Structure 1
């Protein structure tokens, strides 16, 4: 597996990151360990989790199951030094029994109104909890998971800088964030000598969001342009294959994730994708991952989240896809 530099830090990580969100819940321990072992076997290094994963999976959970599982896996093989380990804070909702309906389904509207936020004390406590569950004295990358616009940015950034100085965090990241906020963060970091977030984790894929989509989580044209101009921040693309919709017209018709991507150029981009996938002998899902890994302006680091070992294996052919300049041009300009 090839590597990519994180921002301009000199830190190189694997070209494909592994998301551990479902590990410890939807993905049991045995299958989680199989996925992790296989990922490192093929040259992976970058594992992503969060303190809130997955509070919504069962009533009264306070999250942390993914971090706990990763801690067990690292201890089992004494593998901490092999892992570029990322976790996140700010998105865990304050506990309330009302977070779950009678049938156990989560109340996302309530969760989004009551997330823990990015106050200084909250960040320090959240990180300490993550370190305990992970069984380590530091994480390599610590994200603000949900941009908190109710806490002054100065408070958040100063607290994050303190975590870096303490040695508990090596690098910082931000997720689910508007472009104008990134510029404000940059200005405050420059003015105060605070470390800049070097990873920006957003939802990003081959299809473009429809014009009516209004989400701080989905990359738009302005954000891509911003990141081209500021290559000291690497785009980490979560949900890169949009729950696998590229391989299935039926899934595109019924899956909620597609509702944000039914733009005017969708048919043209899907047609180009299917055509090139057939030429290179891979599935559309695999081609999307390969296309993202070919991007250089800005550089993109896809973050995959397989639920099963079989799903993980199905993504691996993307690592070997070589796209010609002509094929990349066709994919890039489809629907323009």
Structure 2
């Protein structure tokens, strides 16, 4: 597996990160360990989780993914061989309050986010370190941008845990471009640690312009990141839960974020390239991301089953020619 630089830090990470969101809940421990072991053996080192994973799984409160990773790291004794990233600010202060019957009421969720206040920063990092069984994190994200807390408060507290050696690098997720610029300005003004990574939803399909969501990369943010190479784009949901496979589209409701004639044309382009190369549509979509240079993206592949894990690895060897890349770039309504 190839390696890429994180921002302009001088630190390199594997070109793909393994998403560990459902490990310890939907994915059992044995399967999780098998995927983690195979990922490391394939040359991967970047692992992504969050302190809230996965409270929406019945009977869970959040932290299960971190706890499983902590047990796996202790078993292997390989903490120094992985680049460990987790997140805070989207943890639930009262999980039971958002559950009604057998399903969580997502309209209530924002009310119970822990946020990114200074006390939360200092408390959440210690809890994550304890669950992960380590004395430091390689990358620590603000998971949900907290607009109710002054950025100065959050940034100063984050700088404090970096100076204390608990965190090497900082990142931000689900954040608008103007907020990201303000974060960088404040960090520079006060000499605080600035983010080196931005984790957003990003894929080959283009979002519908009229739908505006902070967590999805838009045209302005792509342009911003292309001009600021000290920020790495870490892309979650790069294959949209299998939407690049024709059989998954039958009767499958597409998110309104991507429901457009443009997406239909781009899916057709993926199908054509996949057919020519004898690979899957998901592998083409992932390979397309890995071929991008401005901005360079580090995709997070979250695999729930061993079969899903096996299916993503061949994408690392898919070579898209200049003709393929041009064809994919020009596809669309």
Q: TM-score, normalised by structure 2?
A: 0.97
Q: Is the 8 A contact 1:210 1:264 kept in 2?
A: no
Q: Is the 8 A contact 1:18 1:47 kept in 2?
A: yes
Task: For residue 195 of structure 1, report the CA deviation from its aligned partner.
Answer: 1.5
**Worse overlay, 221-230 or 204-213:** 204-213
Q: For residues 135 and 248 of structure 2, what CA distance do their matches in structure 1 show?
A: 46
> Structure 1: which 5+ residue stretches go unaligned?
none
CA deviations 1:95-135 (Å, max 9, x no partner) are 153311122x1121111222010001101101100000000
Query: What does residue 33 of structure 2 align with?
Result: 33
Query: What does residue 326 of structure 2 align with?
Result: 329
Q: For residues 65 and 48 of structure 2, what CA distance do their matches in structure 1 show?
A: 10
> Structure 2: which 5+ residue stretches go unaligned?
none
Q: Structure 1 residues 252 and 92, CA, compared in 2 at 3 Å: closer, same or farther?
A: farther
- Cα-Cα RMSD: 1.2
Q: Is the 8 A contact 1:20 1:66 kept in 2?
A: yes
Task: For residue 212 of structure 1, report the CA deviation from its aligned partner.
Answer: 2.6
Query: What does residue 279 of structure 1 align with?
Result: 276
Query: What does residue 236 of structure 1 align with?
Result: 234
Aligned residue runs from structure 1 range 62-73, under 5 A? 62-73=61-72
Q: Secondary structure at the match of 1:9?
A: coil
Aligned residue-pair number: 333
CA deviations 1:157-193 (Å, max 9, x no partner) are 1111111100000000000000110111111111111
Query: What does residue 310 of structure 1 align with?
Result: 307
Q: For residues 5 and 252 of structure 1, what CA distance do their matches in structure 2 show?
A: 39
Q: For residues 248 and 254 of structure 1, what CA distance do their matches in structure 2 show?
A: 10
CA deviations 1:24-50 (Å, max 9, x no partner) are 000000000000011011100000010
Task: For residue 211 of structure 1, report the CA deviation from its aligned partner.
Answer: 2.2
Q: Is the 8 A contact 2:242 2:248 kept in 1?
A: no
Q: TM-score, normalised by structure 1?
A: 0.96
Q: 2:258 aligns with which of 248, 257, 261?
A: 261
Aligned residue runs from structure 1 range 80-229, under 5 A? 80-95=79-94, 97-103=96-102, 105-229=103-227
Q: Secondary structure at the match of 1:265?
A: helix
Query: What does residue 296 of structure 1 align with?
Result: 293
Q: For residues 101 and 308 of structure 2, what CA distance do their matches in structure 1 show?
A: 32
CA deviations 1:306-326 (Å, max 9, x no partner) are 001110000011000111112
